């Protein structure tokens, strides 16, 4: 069985990549859902600031791998069912190490990269509650993400996808990555 981790800064195209893998039958786990669920349980709104606070708090209180720890049972369940899994939003070496230590599977990291300006424009038009309303909030979020060790996770990627063009171009690139990982023609 395979576990494919998608890493990338906010707005880079991670969700679209996951959608493509899911369309091929992989089970999907979104690490950001852990933070959103925890924020909801703490009565916090889904804003960039509050989700950032919750994310930092979880890591500070329970360790850098806490988000991964909260995802592991779902991933194990899917692997036990014989399914390959795609995990959206791995952010650090600690999370990757935790997954590799606690899962029996082949592992692949796919990094998706887009320039800050491209990502900012995408996030502004996406309209999700945790998307930044202005450039300053966007930059703060980027720095927080990099502070988790995101750059290291991206640097260790088995596949790097540059997403600066059309959605169709991204889809073609992700299909190529899918075929390479799954060893299909």
| Domain extent at residue 81 | 2-182
The answer to whether the CB of 163 falls within 8 A of the CB of 110 is no
Number of domains in the chain: 1
- Compute φ and ψ for 5, nearest 5 degrees: -100, 135
Query: The tokens of 65 are what?
Result: 């791998």
Q: How would you write the pLDDT of the chain (185 residues) with one tens digit per residue?
A: 999 999 999 999 999 999 999 999 999 999 989 999 999 999 999 887 888 899 989 999 999 999 999 999 999 999 999 999 999 999 999 999 999 999 999 999 999 999 999 999 999 888 777 788 899 999 998 998 898 888 999 999 999 999 999 999 999 999 999 999 998 65
Hey, how many other C-beta atoms are within 10 angstroms of the C-beta on 149?
A: 18
The domain spanning residue 110 has which CATH number? 3.40.50.300
Alpha-carbon 46 to chain mean position = 17
């Amino acid at each position: 069985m395979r576990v494919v981790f998608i890493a990338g800064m906010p707005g880079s195209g991670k969700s679209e990549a996951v959608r493509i893998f899911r369309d091929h039958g992989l089970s999907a786990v979104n690490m950001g859902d852990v933070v959103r669920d925890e924020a909801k349980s703490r009565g916090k709104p889904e804003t960039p600031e509050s989700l950032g606070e919750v994310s930092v708090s979880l890591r500070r209180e329970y360790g850098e791998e806490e988000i991964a720890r909260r995802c592991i049972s779902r991933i194990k369940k899917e692997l036990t069912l014989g399914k390959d899994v795609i995990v959206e939003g791995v952010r650090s070496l600690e999370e990757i190490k935790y997954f590799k230590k606690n899962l029996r599977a082949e592992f692949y990291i796919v990094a998706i990269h887009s320039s800050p300006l491209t990502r900012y424009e995408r996030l502004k038009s996406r309209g999700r509650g945790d998307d930044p309303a202005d450039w300053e909030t966007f930059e703060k979020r980027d720095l927080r993400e990099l502070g988790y060790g995101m750059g290291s996770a991206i640097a260790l990627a088995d596949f790097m996808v540059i997403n600066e063009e059309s959605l169709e171009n991204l889809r073609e690139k992700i299909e190529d990555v899918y075929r390479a990982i799954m060893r299909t023609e």
